[in-house]
Structure 1
Amino acid sequence: MNKVVTSGKTIEDAVKQGLAMLGVTEDQVAVTVLEQPSRGFLGLIGVKPAKVAVSLLNEEHPESEPPRKETSAESVLSESSTVQEAVGQDRDPYEAAASFLREVGESMGLEIEVEIRKHRDGMLLAISGSNLGLLIGRRGQTLDALQYLANIVANRYSSNFVRLIVDAENFRQRRKKTLEELAERLAERVVRTGKEVVLEPMPSQERKAIHAKLQNHPEVKTLSKGDEPNRRVVITPRYK
């Protein structure tokens, strides 16, 4: 067997499989990339594995360029023309992040606008448009992922650390209100039953909203338990 076609999550994984099947080392083969891997949108939609042809060098096969190792965040960002520009280029970091978000919206078939505003916790990138539920995701998980990536983009163009908040349809404020109402209901249950309540895992900003709402409650107190990403808020009687 002088040639095999293999697939994997990354090009490197596919090449390793081919080497194992042929029983050779990387310097003894030529690699032809047949299909680039696609992680889809944020690794959730349209995921496609890499496919390569691995051939022994004694066969007449042109050598391909060596596989490139990718990280999850970098691979998502590399698809954006915003971050394909030189890192040291003189560009406003907030505009760069806003451009990245517009490109993500365009790739999803959405027409969106991104407004840059000042916010008490940093700069706010407010997204407006139609069908923004796709950008928000379940309980804001997709929006949180976009915020993480937008911060990476912005800080590539800034010599000082910048912090961005990404919001859509005022979701952050509406989610905060929902969490505060939930905190009040659960606090009442703890007072009534005398038993602590453990919430589902939440990101840090949502745990912060629960803690802030109940910090002055006379009969209950809150604490966080566990490690990320499974860290949870616990509401317990204050004098138990």
Structure 2
Amino acid sequence: MSKVVASGKTVEDAVNQGLAQLGVSRDRVTVQIVSQPSKGFLGLIGVKEAKVELTLLPEPAPEPVETAKPLPLDLHEPEASIEEEEKDPYETAAEFIIDVGKSMGLDVSVEIQHARDATTLHIFGPDLGLIIGRRGQTLDALQYLANIVANRVSSSYVRLVLDAENFRERRKKTLEDLADRLAGRVIRTHKEVVLEPMSPQERKVIHSKLQDHPQVKTYSKGEEPNRRVVITIK
């Protein structure tokens, strides 16, 4: 059965009757209204129902089932992303120093000089007094930070020494002269001399200078950063 005529009090009722007869849903038929309902005289006499004709639509062709294509079998593990090459710790430290110089308004360059016990980064540029600081305190602080930066990117421990305008050598000469002068005072007065607080590197210069002295000896006392060298009679 592909076509039915159905009646009802309203067009909608008639359509529902026809759908029930066909056993399909609304989207499976076309509807043609044969006649509209009417109430007749005074709404009581000659009442006429709605009449519709429903034609069944042909069955839609089934959609082809798309089978999933098998993925190519890859027996190899996915390639690991290429790891970033290990950064050169010395170049990294040099870049750090240049950046610090820029933040201080200085245009500096850095030359890397390797040695057996340490690598020295020589700083060149104008107004390096700002980087050296009072008695090299700023340079020492920058050296401490540069070592941290370098060792963060190095697989093995590296030791850096920062120098500017040959300050390290000049400071060493000043400290050695000071050690000789104060040793002479201790010998004359037989009273120990306590130096001002120094960095471990500067204390080492004093100790090394006087370690073979026949009449005086040295030792350190106090806690960092206020640790001091003491020169006393043997």
Q: TM-score, normalised by structure 1?
A: 0.62
Name the CA distance, whole Å, in 1 between partners of 2:127 and 2:87. Answer: 30
SS at 1:200 equivalent: coil
Structure 1 match to 2:95 = 99
* 1:134 maps to which of 130, 135, 139: 130
User: Does 1:167 find its partner at 2:163?
Assistant: yes
**Does structure 2 retain, via aligned residues, the 8 Å contact 1:89–1:157?**
no
Name the CA distance, whole Å, in 2 between partners of 1:204 and 1:233. Answer: 10
SS at 2:121 equivalent: strand
- Structure 1: 4+ residue segments shifted above 2 A: none
Deviation at 1:119, TM superposition (A): 2.9
* 1:90 maps to which of 86, 90, 98: 86
Name the CA distance, whole Å, in 2 between partners of 1:237 and 1:226. Answer: 19
**Does structure 2 retain, via aligned residues, the 8 Å contact 1:102–1:113?**
yes
Within-5 A mapping of 1:196-235: 196-235=192-231
Structure 1 match to 2:120 = 124
Structure 1, residues 107-138: CA drift from partner, whole Å, max 9, x if none? 11111110000134311100011100000000
Structure 1 unaligned segments of length 5 or more: list them.
1-87
Deviation at 1:155, TM superposition (A): 0.6
Name the CA distance, whole Å, in 1 between partners of 2:187 and 2:144. Answer: 37
Deviation at 1:164, TM superposition (A): 0.5
Structure 1 match to 2:146 = 150
Relative to structure 1, is the Cα distance of residues 193 and 120 closer, same or farther in structure 2, using a 3 angstrom cutoff? farther
Deviation at 1:89, TM superposition (A): 5.4
**Does structure 2 retain, via aligned residues, the 8 Å contact 1:126–1:168?**
yes
Name the CA distance, whole Å, in 2 between partners of 1:236 and 1:151. Answer: 34
Name the CA distance, whole Å, in 1 between partners of 2:205 and 2:218. Answer: 11
Name the CA distance, whole Å, in 2 between partners of 1:142 and 1:132. Answer: 11
Structure 1, residues 188-225: CA drift from partner, whole Å, max 9, x if none? 00000111101111110000000000011111000111
Structure 1 match to 2:110 = 114
AA at the equivalent of 2:185: R
Name the CA distance, whole Å, in 2 between partners of 1:175 and 1:211. Answer: 15
Identity of aligned residues (%): 70
Name the CA distance, whole Å, in 2 between partners of 1:119 and 1:166. Answer: 13
SS at 1:95 equivalent: helix
SS at 1:111 equivalent: coil
User: Does 1:188 find its partner at 2:184?
Assistant: yes
AA at the equivalent of 2:216: V
Name the CA distance, whole Å, in 2 between partners of 1:148 and 1:182. Answer: 25
Deviation at 1:90, TM superposition (A): 2.0
Name the CA distance, whole Å, in 2 between partners of 1:112 and 1:231. Answer: 32
Name the CA distance, whole Å, in 1 between partners of 2:92 and 2:159. Answer: 13
Name the CA distance, whole Å, in 2 between partners of 1:98 and 1:141. Answer: 19
AA at the equivalent of 2:142: L
**Does structure 2 retain, via aligned residues, the 8 Å contact 1:128–1:168?**
yes
**Does structure 2 retain, via aligned residues, the 8 Å contact 1:211–1:223?**
yes
SS at 1:227 equivalent: coil
Q: How many residues align?
A: 152
